[in-house]
Structure 1
Amino acid sequence: MRQTSSCSSSNTETLPPSHLTPLPQMRVLHPVSWVSVSVCWLVSSLCFLRVRSDETRDSLNSSALDFDSFRKLFQRQSDVTSEEFNRRQVFFQEATKRHAYLNSFSTAPQSAQYGINQFSDLSPKEFRDLYLRASADRAPHFSGRKTEGLPAKLDWRDKAAVAPVQNQQACGSCWAFSVVGAMQSAHAIEGSQLEQLSVQQVLDCSFKDEGCNGGSPVRALNWLKQSRVKLVPQSEYPYKAKTGICHFFPQSHDGVAVKNFTAHDFGGQEEAMKGQLLQHGPLAAVVDAVSWQDYQGGIIQHHCSSQWSNHAVLVVGYDTTGDIPYWIVQNSWGPTWGKEGYVYIKIGDNVCGMIFASFHSPLISALTLVHDCCRTHCPLRD
């Protein structure tokens, strides 16, 4: 059994968690349901606090960027005479300069916008060390057929196949959220009632990963396949934002399991990825999310930077009807980060590197990996 661990920093103020909006408690209808899953790697930021309202946040960004207002809004508690206060104020001031720089590239309509959020008093290094904890594994290049006649727009939320945005809080558990998100969507698409499955169960029990210290959706899927573990509802095994001791359930207990999956690299094949999304449902994904520390909305077209995948998310749709086609990506940083918990990524340039995985049928799951990152402008490259 793995000992309890957590992802923290002695130099960073504690970030109070957001309140999650749970789904109604529902039961799995069969002792075990087999699902297939898709995983995708994308770049994103972590959101751990609830802003009181969008109006308050907008007001803060349009004001004189006062650090005291920021501290009140995000409930920062450090003494104003402390060294910690001074450090946070410096990071906050540096963030406002960074926002202006990033926004200077966002001149076209629908471009991404960057500004003050709950991460604005963290240094970029602190943000990476605390919240970007996912890793990607290599996979064979996708060699399947492209799907013909793709719709111009697809959003699995419209089909009641995507659970509400959750908040992983100060725990590097995005890898578990992405896998579980894909599983519960696939289960719903098969005809079962949409149900929030236990992320904490994966966090505690996937011995191939490191709990809050990070993990890989591929390793988690391998563990689920090999162990035949059935995920129980979140209501039975609630999320705690820290790694705990694995709680085992008898084989007779109801749950949802993964029987098999395959992994594929979709580099340069975003049309094929759209086909996978259409055929198999939401895709678990790992991304380079360094620049998402400051993201507030709009379509990300630039600013991928580190060239390594570090955060896991769930791709739930795409939209090619406008001037800039984009992926619709659910994050696990709460509904107040980005656009109600979502981020939009430009389709067509492998922006920031994407890795996808999907459930193909009740018996097969597939993982898609895209490693090409930042072929467009990269002003934040390390």
Structure 2
Amino acid sequence: MLPALTMVATLVAMALAASTMTASITEADRIYVSSENIASEESMRVLYERWYALHRRDADPNDKEKRFAIFNAEARAVYKLNKDGARVKHHLNLFADMTQDEYAEGFANCSPLEIQPRDEIKLNLHQPSQYYPNNLPHSVDWRTVDGVLTGVKKQGRCGSCWAIAATGAMESIHFLKNNKRTNLSVQELVDCSTENRGCDGGWAEKAFQYVINKHGIHSSEQYPYVGNGSRCTTPSGSRVMSIGRFVYVRRHNEKQLMDAVSHWPVVVPFFGTNSTVFMRYSGGIFRGPCNDTQRHQFLLVGYGTMPSDDANDPGVKYWVVQNTWGESWGERGYMLVERGHETDGGVCGISSRHAVYPAHPK
């Protein structure tokens, strides 16, 4: 086995070398809307049955007609967006037969708690590498390095994005430092991290503190995810890993955030996920609109620049983030978010709060 530091350096190099690759997207599980689909109610019902079989296998059949009416309107809206040349692509994802209120309440506000501002002098702050600030890699993409990410998870109607992002960050650094692959228990954090509010939301740093206080966390096999809050239990078997501390990345500092994610994935905030543009996102670089009324947490897994056909155009800079809504949303569960706007805290506030990552995995 490679020594820990050598292994990290090797995997980082792999991420940098492979970062120009695009994550593979299987078109079979994407349902787009054509002019033929919207030509008649009959053709729309055929489309709905195809979508329903993929996304609503266990739904209440008595609710189906009501859901079809919502789906019909959503499919036509998605078709018009694509036809009119929207800046991002859209397909019919898992939200296609939900009302906007149902979506916003169930999925778009999983970090409602506000962490009070702290004196940065007292925080464990990210120490920039030798490449900061002017020699950072042009692009990084941890999706391209086998083992670093354990896959896109699906939170369901539980507002557990904070717990999923926290476990994802710990899983990644555990692999990078110790060459150990494991799926950690999101449900344990939802049930037992009492500084957070379970399915009503929370923050990754409080999840990290729980793991430190308990000297570890169990695996998802020991404590499976059920998608709702339940009584905290102690499963059989030892906790599978712990961390020694967690580290903050300075706010409003894009290059420090780039430096941090070039070493391992980082948890970042995101505001404004309750917009229809965000709900319908299927690909491309997301530029908003955003607001600060609904809050989310992502796992930041890379960054890059989308080249332009114009030699005089430097292209569009972006972040790569992993969401918690399964692979049917976005680019197989991932999103590209425009990078920049540092003084404003980034698009949708992605750098407006301290990013955070775990350290010293055991």
TM-score, normalised with respect to structure 1: 0.69
Q: Is residue 272 from structure 1 mapped to residue 256 from structure 2 by the alignment? A: yes
Q: Is residue 158 from structure 1 mapped to residue 157 from structure 2 by the alignment? A: no
Give secondary structure in 1 for the equivalent of 2:316: coil
Q: Higher mean Cα deviation, 173-182 or 147-156?
A: 147-156
Q: Deviations over 1:313-372 (max 9, x none)?
A: 211111125221211111121122211111111111211111521235559xxxxxxxxx
Q: Is residue 231 from structure 1 mapped to residue 217 from structure 2 by the alignment? A: yes
Q: CA, structure 1 residues 244+91, in 2 after alignment: closer, same or farther (shift >3 Å)?
A: same
Q: Higher mean Cα deviation, 315-324 or 292-301?
A: 315-324
**Residue ranges of structure 2 left out of the alignment (5+ in a row):** 1-25, 39-43, 308-314
Q: Is residue 134 from structure 1 mapped to residue 134 from structure 2 by the alignment? A: no
Instruction: Indicate the residue corresponding to 2:91 in structure 1.
Output: 115
CA drift of 1:63 comes to 4.1
Match of residue 287, structure 1, among 258, 262, 270? 270
Q: Is residue 303 from structure 1 mapped to residue 280 from structure 2 by the alignment? A: no
How far apart are the structure 2 equivalents of 1:205 and 1:68?
Answer: 44
CA drift of 1:270 comes to 1.5
Q: Output aligned runs, 1:26-65, within 5 Å.
A: 54-55=27-28, 57-60=30-33, 63-65=36-38
Q: Is residue 74 from structure 1 mapped to residue 57 from structure 2 by the alignment? A: no
Contact 2:219 2:239 in 1 (8 A): no
Match of residue 92, structure 1, among 71, 83, 104? 71
Q: Deviations over 1:8-33 (max 9, x none)?
A: xxxxxxxxxxxxxxxxxxxxxxxxxx
How far apart are the structure 2 equivalents of 1:231 and 1:62?
Answer: 51
Max radius of gyration: which structure?
A: 2
How far apart are the structure 1 equivalents of 2:305 and 2:80?
Answer: 28
Match of residue 211, structure 1, among 198, 204, 213? 198
Report the AA paired with residue 318 of structure 1.
Answer: Y
Contact 2:306 2:318 in 1 (8 A): no
CA drift of 1:116 comes to 2.0
Q: CA, structure 1 residues 336+342, in 2 after alignment: closer, same or farther (shift >3 Å)?
A: same
Contact 2:267 2:297 in 1 (8 A): yes
Q: Is residue 241 from structure 1 mapped to residue 233 from structure 2 by the alignment? A: no
Q: Is residue 344 from structure 1 mapped to residue 302 from structure 2 by the alignment? A: no
RMSD: 3.0
Report the AA paired with residue 92 of structure 1.
Answer: F
Query: Aligned pair count?
Result: 300
How far apart are the structure 2 equivalents of 1:190 and 1:175?
Answer: 23
How far apart are the structure 1 equivalents of 2:301 and 2:249?
Answer: 18
How far apart are the structure 2 equivalents of 1:271 and 1:105?
Answer: 35
CA drift of 1:154 comes to 0.6
CA drift of 1:219 comes to 2.6
How far apart are the structure 1 equivalents of 2:215 and 2:293?
Answer: 30
Q: CA, structure 1 residues 169+183, in 2 after alignment: closer, same or farther (shift >3 Å)?
A: same
CA drift of 1:158 comes to 2.9
Give secondary structure in 1 for the equivalent of 2:189: helix
CA drift of 1:233 comes to 2.0
Contact 2:249 2:256 in 1 (8 A): no
Report the AA paired with residue 303 of structure 2.
Answer: Y
CA drift of 1:223 comes to 2.6
Q: CA, structure 1 residues 63+130, in 2 after alignment: closer, same or farther (shift >3 Å)?
A: farther
How far apart are the structure 1 equivalents of 2:85 and 2:243?
Answer: 41
Report the AA paired with residue 351 of structure 1.
Answer: V
Q: CA, structure 1 residues 321+299, in 2 after alignment: closer, same or farther (shift >3 Å)?
A: closer
CA drift of 1:180 comes to 0.4
How far apart are the structure 2 equivalents of 1:69 and 1:266?
Answer: 45
CA drift of 1:169 comes to 1.9
TM-score, normalised with respect to structure 2: 0.72
Contact 1:330 1:341 in 2 (8 A): yes
Instruction: Indicate the residue corresponding to 1:372 in structure 2.
Output: none
Q: CA, structure 1 residues 90+153, in 2 after alignment: closer, same or farther (shift >3 Å)?
A: same
Give secondary structure in 2 for the equivalent of 1:190: helix
Q: Deviations over 1:277-319 (max 9, x none)?
A: 123x101123122232111111101322x32352222111111
Give secondary structure in 1 for the equivalent of 2:348: coil
Q: CA, structure 1 residues 239+300, in 2 after alignment: closer, same or farther (shift >3 Å)?
A: same
Report the AA paired with residue 303 of structure 1.
Answer: P
Contact 2:139 2:305 in 1 (8 A): yes
Contact 1:134 1:310 in 2 (8 A): yes
Q: CA, structure 1 residues 128+162, in 2 after alignment: closer, same or farther (shift >3 Å)?
A: same
Contact 2:111 2:296 in 1 (8 A): yes
Contact 1:199 1:239 in 2 (8 A): yes
Instruction: Indicate the residue corresponding to 1:178 in structure 2.
Output: 165
Contact 1:165 1:332 in 2 (8 A): yes
Structure showing greater relative contact order (alpha-carbon pairs closer than 8 Å, 6 or more residues apart)? 1
Contact 2:157 2:227 in 1 (8 A): yes
Q: CA, structure 1 residues 344+61, in 2 after alignment: closer, same or farther (shift >3 Å)?
A: farther
Give secondary structure in 2 for the equivalent of 1:314: strand
**Residue ranges of structure 1 left out of the alignment (5+ in a row):** 1-52, 364-382
How far apart are the structure 1 equivalents of 2:60 and 2:349?
Answer: 37
Give secondary structure in 2 for the equivalent of 1:187: helix
Report the AA paired with residue 198 of structure 2.
Answer: G
How far apart are the structure 2 equivalents of 1:336 and 1:144?
Answer: 37
Contact 1:152 1:321 in 2 (8 A): no
